[in-house]
Amino acid sequence: MVRVGILGASGYGGAELLRLLKAHPGVELVGFSSRKHEGRPLSAAWPQLWDERPFASQEEVLERADVLFLALPNGLAMGMVPEALKAGKRVIDLSGDYRLPPDVYEAWYGIPHQSPELYREAVYGLPELHREELRGARLVANPGCYVTAATLALAPLAAMGALRGAMVVGLSGVSGAGREGEGTFFAEVNENLKPYKAGGTHRHIPEMERNLGRLLAQGKPARTHGEVREVRLSFTPHLVPMTRGILVTAQAEVAGDWSQKALEELYRGFYASEPFVRVLAGLPETKGTYASNRVDVKPVYEERTGRILVFAALDNLVKGMAGQAVQNLNLMLGLPEDTALPKEGVWP
Amino acid sequence: MVRVGILGASGYGGAELLRLLKAHPGVELVGFSSRKHEGRPLSAAWPQLWDERPFASQEEVLERADVLFLALPNGLAMGMVPEALKAGKRVIDLSGDYRLPPDVYEAWYGIPHQSPELYREAVYGLPELHREELRGARLVANPGCYVTAATLALAPLAAMGALRGAMVVGLSGVSGAGREGEGTFFAEVNENLKPYKAGGTHRHIPEMERNLGRLLAQGKPARTHGEVREVRLSFTPHLVPMTRGILVTAQAEVAGDWSQKALEELYRGFYASEPFVRVLAGLPETKGTYASNRVDVKPVYEERTGRILVFAALDNLVKGMAGQAVQNLNLMLGLPEDTALPKEGVWP
Amino acid sequence: MVRVGILGASGYGGAELLRLLKAHPGVELVGFSSRKHEGRPLSAAWPQLWDERPFASQEEVLERADVLFLALPNGLAMGMVPEALKAGKRVIDLSGDYRLPPDVYEAWYGIPHQSPELYREAVYGLPELHREELRGARLVANPGCYVTAATLALAPLAAMGALRGAMVVGLSGVSGAGREGEGTFFAEVNENLKPYKAGGTHRHIPEMERNLGRLLAQGKPARTHGEVREVRLSFTPHLVPMTRGILVTAQAEVAGDWSQKALEELYRGFYASEPFVRVLAGLPETKGTYASNRVDVKPVYEERTGRILVFAALDNLVKGMAGQAVQNLNLMLGLPEDTALPKEGVWP
Amino acid sequence: MVRVGILGASGYGGAELLRLLKAHPGVELVGFSSRKHEGRPLSAAWPQLWDERPFASQEEVLERADVLFLALPNGLAMGMVPEALKAGKRVIDLSGDYRLPPDVYEAWYGIPHQSPELYREAVYGLPELHREELRGARLVANPGCYVTAATLALAPLAAMGALRGAMVVGLSGVSGAGREGEGTFFAEVNENLKPYKAGGTHRHIPEMERNLGRLLAQGKPARTHGEVREVRLSFTPHLVPMTRGILVTAQAEVAGDWSQKALEELYRGFYASEPFVRVLAGLPETKGTYASNRVDVKPVYEERTGRILVFAALDNLVKGMAGQAVQNLNLMLGLPEDTALPKEGVWP
C-alpha cells in the first residue's frame, strides 16, 4: 500500500481526490490538509463525507505521504516541490506551475517561477499522449479541464500533421471556478450564460497550443520536452448554469480533403485502445460523463462548408482534474490504469 | 457469482441498478430488458454507459437470472412473480405491488391484485427495520423514496411507542417522476416549486402509516406481517427544481416531555450500528447524499413551542430505490451489507 | 410627479425597485445610492439596465427625494429616519427596523434601537390588512417575503378568531439571501435542498406571530399599534435551488369543524376585492407569480386527518419586497393601488 | 384601438404575446385560440395569468381581429394567410412559412408550400434592417431567435461588405424547443449541455445566410426581395440547462485589416439609433436581457490570431419571438416602436 496525501483538500478538486482515493484499493490515504479547516473533521467541511478524521497541517501530510497530490492555487507548488522531491516523495501537481516552460508560465500567469530547473523533469500528465513517460515520473504536471478537452478533441488531427489552427469554444459548469470564486452566486449564474476572457487572454491557451504543437512535431506518443511546432488557437470560454461538465466545440483548420468517413476512421483508430476515451456515434453531452473519468469525442465533417468540427465532453472535476491525477498515479505505481476510476457516469 | 437480471432497465431506477450492479463484485449481470429498447445497445438508451450489450427480452432475462430486479410500473410485477418464484428465482420488486395488504393496495392504487396470496410471503425491504427477515427472503417488496425517508425520520419515536401522528412535508427532485413523466419539462420545472397531491391523497401514505404502526406495535426489529397499530399521518409532497434528492421535514406528534438532548440520544442509539444512516450534528441537505446510499437524519426540539421536527435527506434513486434494492440483495445473499454501495456522496 | 429615491440600490431589492419605479408613471426617480458603486453608472452594477446615470451618495438622494425607499441592511434605517422625517420626507423602510416593538426587535435582532420613539408612528406595510392606515403614513415598515406569505396564508383563519397555532414550512429561492450572501455559490446550491435556522430561531417568527395575533384580537382591518393576542408558530425555512420564489406550506391549528367548502368560502370572501391576492382552484406554484406582485393562495382540508393546510406562493423580490413597497407608495400617494405593478407573471 | 388576436396561444411564444399585448395601450386583445385548450379559461393553461376569458376557436379569432399573430407550428400559416389577407386582415406570422423563397423553404423544411405567391408580398420582420418596408406591410415573416441573434451579430460587417463567412455557435435555453418538445425533461436537461443538429443541418442556416447576403449585396437598409449575395455559414446549436436566453458566439471571416477600435466604431455607428440594440463595453450575458426586448452585442478583435469574434445575447421568447412581433406591430400601426416593449430586463 502506497501512502498518499493531499494538500488543498478543501477545494472541489480536493473533494474529488478524497472520493476517489478513499475507494482506491492500492493506496492508503495518510493525510489531507487545508489551511482553512486544519484540525476540524473532514465532515465539517464536506457534507457528503462520513469521516471524522481531522484535516492535518501541510507539514504532517508532507511527512507522512510517499506520493503527494498538490491541489493548491497556482504559485504554491513551485515552492514545495523541490524539498518534497529531495525527501524522496513523488508529486502530482494539479496547478499550472510545471505545465509550461518557466518563461511562458511567467508571461501568462504573472508569477515568477521559484524552481524553474524542475520544469525539465516534470512530465505532462495527459496519459493518452504521454503514457510511457508517466510510468517513471517523479513529478507530474496534471493538466486542467479545458486543456484536456481541447487537446483530446484535436489530437488526432495534430498527430497526423494536418492541423493548422482552430477556433475553440469552451463551455463550462461553475465548479471549475472553485469553491471560493467571485461571480459564482447562484442567483447570478442560474438562468444565465456568458462568455468570459474573450480575445485570446485565457491562460490555458499556451498550454493547448503546446500540446498540439508537440503532436504536430513529434506525432504520438509525444515527449513532454521534445520538439514543438507553432500553432495558433482561438479559445473563448463560457460559463454555463450547471455545476459540473465541460464541452468543447472546436472548428479545426486542417490541410487536405476530408469526409465524415475519413474523420471517423482517424479518430477511432487514434483512440482505439484508450480506456477512457470514447468516440461516439452521435454527439457528446456532458451529463453522459458525469462523475466518471471518461471523455466522449465526436468529429463532424460539414459538407456545405467543408469545415471540420470536433466536440469533446468530460467531467471537469474528474477527467478534467482529480480523476486524471489518479490515472497518472496508477501509471506511476504500475497499477492497472483504470484502478478506482469509473468509466461510466451517473445519470440523471 | 450470482446471476442477476433487471426488468425495466430503461427507467431511472433501472439506470441506477445498472450502475451499481455492474460494479458489484459478487454478481454477474446476465440480462436487462426494456420493451422500448429491446435489441438496441445499452449505450443508445443511456449516454452515460459505455456498454454495447443489447437489451434482451423479458423472457430471456427471466430465464437467465437467479435473482430478478423488477423495476416496472405498478401492476406488472404481480403477474410475473408467481412463475418466477415457482422457477426457483428470487425477486426484488421495486414497485408497490407487494408492499401493502392486497385490499389496501387495491383501495389506493386502483388495481386488482393478481397474486394476493404471495403478499404473505413478501418481506418489506427496509433493512434498518427488517434486516433479519430479509436474509432468507425469496420475495422482497422494496420501498420507495418518500416512504424510506419518512419512515427512518420517525422510526425511533415510533419504536419507543411515543409517536401519535405527524405532519410530513416531502420535497423531491424531479427524477422521482420517472423518465416519461408529464409535467416534467425543464421550462416548467426550473425556477418553480410546487406542492402536489395535497390533502392526503398520495398513495405512499398507507405505507408510511403501516411502517410506523408496526414499530408502534412491535418495536424494533419489526416483522412484515406482525401486528400493526393505527397511526395517522399527513403527507404533502412538493416538486423541487432539481434532479435528485428527497428531503422530508416532519413534525412529530409525540407523548411525553422532550429535550434536544433526549432526542439526540434516542436517535443516535437507534441508528448506532447502521451502515447507511448518519445522525448529524447539523441539519441534513440532499446534496450531501448525492449518488450515495446514505440517509442523513436530524431531530430538532423546538423550545418555544414544544414541537419536535425531524429532517431526513437521501438520494431518491439510490437509498430511495436502486441502492436499497442492492442492500436487500446483499442481505439475501449473505454478503457484507454495504457491498458495492457508496456511503459517501458526490460533491458538488 | 413625486420625487422618489432609493438608498441601497445595489441589492436585489434595490434592483427590483429600480425596475418598477423607472416604469412608474406617477413618480420621478431622482436618485439612487450604493456605497459600493457610488459614481459608477447604473449599467456597471446591473447588466439588465440600459441606464448610464451614476449612483449618487446617500446625502444627495436624501436631499433630492420626497419619498425615500430604504433598501439597506437591518440597523441602518433607524439612524436616518428621524432626520428624514424632520425634513418632511416620507419613508418606506424595507428593513426590519420598524416592524417590531423595539424591545422585541432588540431581542431577536441583537441590535440596540436608535429611534424607538418612531416605532409608534410606523405603519406596518401589508396593504391587505392595513390599507387605511397606510394612506396617511409618513413611515412605513415594509414586511419581508416569508412574513408576507405566511401572514396572508393564515390571515383569514386568524381574523375570524379560529387560529390556535401553526407549523409553517417556508421554501425560498436563493435571491432572498441577497447579492453578497455566503453559502449561495451555484455549485453548493444547485441540486441541493436544505433546511436552515430550524428550531424556532428565525427572526421573522415574532413578526408572523404579531401579524396573526393582531388579527386574532382585532379582526380585519387591523391597526398596527392595536391589541395583539398571543399565538405561537413553528417556522422552518428551507433553501431551494432556484433564484426567485417563496412557497409557504402551513398546517393551521384551528378551532371548530371544517370542510373544504367552508374553507374556500372563507378565503374567497376574505380576499374577494384584493387586487393582488388570488385564491386558486388548484395548488399554487411559485413560477405562476414570477416577476409579478401577485400572491396565489389555497386552503386544503384533509379529510383523513382533519388537518387544514394552506399554501401561498409569491415572488420574494416583488410582493415579498419591492413590489409591496411600491404598493405602499401608491397608497401613500393616493394613486391607484396597482399602478406600475404587474398582476401577471412571466412564464416560463 | 386596433383589434388583435393570437392563433396558437398555448405555446411559449403565445404566452409572451399574451403578456405583452395585454399591457399594450394601443390594441385590444379580442381573441386567442388553442386547439388543446379551446373553451377553457386562460388561467387553466397558464398559471401566471389571472384571466378567466376562454380560449376561442381559430375561426372566432380570425373573424374578430384586424391584426393576427400566428404562433403556430411550421406549415399551418401558409394555409390560412391567403384568406385572412383577402378579408382585409394584416398578419404577423411567427413560423418559418414566409421567411424563405418557397423552393428554399421546401428544401429545408420538407413541406410543400401552399401559397408561394404570397412570399413576394411578405416583409421580413427584422426591424433593425427592414424598418421602412415594415411600416406598410400586410404580411410580416417574423424571424426566430437564433436567426435574430446571428444576423444582428454579423450585420455591421456584412452591410459594409467585409463579411466572407462565419462559424456561428448558438447556445440556447430550453424554451426554444417549445412546450411539447421531446428530450426536454428536467432530469435530462439539468446539469447537461449538448450540441445538436451539428454538421450544417439546422433549418435556420439558409435564413441567416440570406439575411447577411442581402446586406452584402444591398447594404442597410435592405429590401426583403432585393438582391442577395452568396455567403456560407457554419451554425452549430447547443442546448443549455436554462429556460430562456440565447447567446451567439460567432467567428467572422472578414476582408481587410482590423482593430478593436475600428470594430467598436463600426458597431456603435451601425446601431447608434436602434431602440433595442446595445453595444456593450464588456461581454454580453443572457440574463441581462431576461424578459426584455433588448439585444446586447459585442465585437472582439483577437490580437494573437487576427480573428474577429462577435457575441450577441437576447431573450429567445421576447426579441427572439413575441417581442419582435410586437415591435413589428408597432411599426405596422405607426405607433412608437417601443410601445409596450421593455428595454430593460428582470434580474436576478
CA-wise closest residue to C324 among C132, C181, C171, C128: C128
d(CA D150, CA D166): 10
Distance separating the N- and C-terminal Cα atoms of chain C = 35
Cross-chain residue pair A189–C186, CB shorter than 8 Å: yes
Q: Indicate the helix (H) or strand (E) that contains A159.
A: helix A145-159
Share of chain C above pLDDT 70, in %: 99
Among residues 264-303 of chain C, which lie with CB inside 8 Å of chain D? 278, 285, 287-292, 294, 296
d(CA C201, CA A186): 25
pLDDT of residue C24: 97
Cross-chain residue pair B240–C236, CB shorter than 8 Å: no
Mapped onto helix, strand or coil, the DSSP state of residue B24 is coil
Domain D145-317 has CATH 3.30.360.10: yes
Domain C145-315 has CATH 3.10.129.10: no
CB D281 within 8 A of CB D264: no
pLDDT range class, residue C230, cuts 50, 70, 90: very high
Among residues 314-343 of chain B, which lie with CB inside 8 Å of chain D? none
Cis peptide bond upstream of B241, omega within 30 = no
pLDDT(C249) > 90:
yes
β-pair partners for B91: B68, B139
B174-208 burial, b if ≥16 CB within 10 A, otherwise e? bbbbebeeeebbbbbbbbbbbbbbbbbebbbbbbb
Distance separating the N- and C-terminal Cα atoms of chain A = 35
pLDDT(C207) > 80:
yes
Amino acid at D193: L
Q: What is the 3-state secondary structure (H, E, C) of C73-114?
A: CCCCHHHHHHHHHHCCCEEEECCCCCCCCHHHHHHHHCCCCC
**Torsion-angle region of C296 (φ positive above 0: left; ψ -120 to 50: alpha; else: beta):** beta
Q: How many helices (H) and strands (E) does chain C have?
A: 11, 13
Chain B CB contacts of D246 below 8 Å: none
pLDDT of residue C178: 77
C84-119 burial, b if ≥16 CB within 10 A, otherwise e? bbeeebbbbbbbbbbbbbbebbeebbeeebbbeebb
d(CA B245, CA A108): 42
β-pair partners for A193: none
Listed in sequence order, the residues at least 6 apart from A148 whose beta carbon sits closer than 8 Å to its beta carbon are: A126, A295, A314, A319, A320, A324
Residue A175, chain C, CB below 8 Å: the answer is yes
CA-wise closest residue to A240 among A286, A294, A275, A207: A286
d(CA B313, CA B248): 7
d(CA C149, CA C233): 14
d(CA B277, CA B129): 12
- ipTM attached to this prediction: 0.95
D33: its cell numbers:
385560440
D37: its cell numbers:
385548450
Q: Is C6 a catalytic residue?
A: no
CA-wise closest residue to D15 among C293, C281, C298, B187: B187
pLDDT of residue C141: 98
The Cα angle at residue D21 between residues D19 and D23, in degrees rounded to 5: 75
Q: Residue B242, Cβ neighbours under 10 Å: how many?
A: 28
Give the pLDDT confidence of D100-144 residue by residue, as tens digits. 999 999 999 999 999 999 999 999 999 999 999 999 999 999 999
pLDDT of residue B182: 67
Domain C2-144+320-333 has CATH 3.40.50.880: no
CB A149 within 8 A of CB A170: yes
Q: Indicate the helix (H) or strand (E) that contains C29.
A: strand C27-33
pLDDT of residue B346: 97
Q: Which of A67, A77, A129, A145 is catalytic?
A: A145
Residue A46, chain B, CB below 8 Å: the answer is yes
CATH T-level fold of B2-143+320-333: Rossmann fold (3.40.50)
Query: Which runs of E-coded beta strand occur in C159-294?
Result: 163-172, 194-195, 232-239, 246-254, 277-279
Give the pLDDT confidence of B111-158 residue by residue, as tens digits. 999 999 999 999 999 999 999 999 999 999 999 999 999 999 999 999
pLDDT(C6) > 90:
yes
C112: its cell numbers:
440596540
d(CA C53, CA C35): 15
pLDDT of residue A153: 98
Chain B CB contacts of A290 below 8 Å: 48
pLDDT(B212) > 90:
yes
Write the CA distances from A10 to A20, A73, A175, integer angstroms.
15, 12, 13
> Which residues of D form the catalytic set?
145
Nearest to B283 among C195, C241, C301 (CB): C195
The Cα angle at residue B45 between residues B42 and B51, in degrees rounded to 5: 25
Q: Indicate the helix (H) or strand (E) that contains B111.
A: none
Chain B CB contacts of A47 below 8 Å: 285, 287-288, 296, 347
Closest-CA distance, C326 to chain D, in angstroms, reads 16
Nearest-10 crossing angle of helices C205-218, C102-109: 150
d(CA A181, CA A166): 29
Give the pLDDT confidence of C36-46 residue by residue, as tens digits. 999 999 999 99
Low-confidence ranges of chain A (pLDDT < 70): 180-182
pLDDT range class, residue B236, cuts 50, 70, 90: very high
Residue B186, chain A, CB below 8 Å: the answer is no
- What is the maximum alpha-carbon separation in chain A? 62
For A221-252, give the DSSP string: S--TTS-----EEEEEEEE-SSSS-EEEEEEE
| CA atoms lying within 13 Å on the CB side of residue C75 | 7
| CA atoms lying within 13 Å on the CB side of residue D306 | 7
Q: How many helices (H) and strands (E) does chain A have?
A: 11, 13
Domain-wise residue ranges, chain B: 2-143+320-333, 145-316
Q: Which of C20, C70, C94, C145 is catalytic?
A: C145
Q: Which of B81, B145, B149, B318 is catalytic?
A: B145
β-pair partners for A235: A168
Give the pLDDT confidence of C276-331 residue by residue, as tens digits. 999 999 999 999 999 999 999 999 999 999 999 999 999 999 999 999 999 999 99
Q: Give the number of beta-carbon pairs within 8 Å between C and D.
A: 74
Give the pLDDT confidence of B66-121 residue by residue, as tens digits. 999 999 999 999 999 999 999 999 999 999 999 999 999 999 999 999 999 999 99
CATH T-level fold of A145-316: Dihydrodipicolinate Reductase; domain 2 (3.30.360)
d(CA D154, CA D158): 6
β-pair partners for C168: C235, C250
Mean pLDDT of chain B: 97
Low-confidence ranges of chain D (pLDDT < 50): none
Cα dihedral C237, C241, C242, C243 sign: positive
Nearest to C348 among B173, B188, B304 (CB): B188
pLDDT of residue D338: 98
pLDDT of residue B177: 83
B243-268 burial, b if ≥16 CB within 10 A, otherwise e? bbbbbbbbbbbbeeebeeeebbebbe
Closest-CA distance, B256 to chain A, in angstroms, reads 32
Listed in sequence order, the residues at least 6 apart from D273 whose beta carbon sits closer than 8 Å to its beta carbon are: none
Indicate the DSSP class of residue C257.
-
CA-wise closest residue to A330 among A166, A90, A113: A90
Q: Residue A323, Cβ neighbours under 10 Å: how many?
A: 25
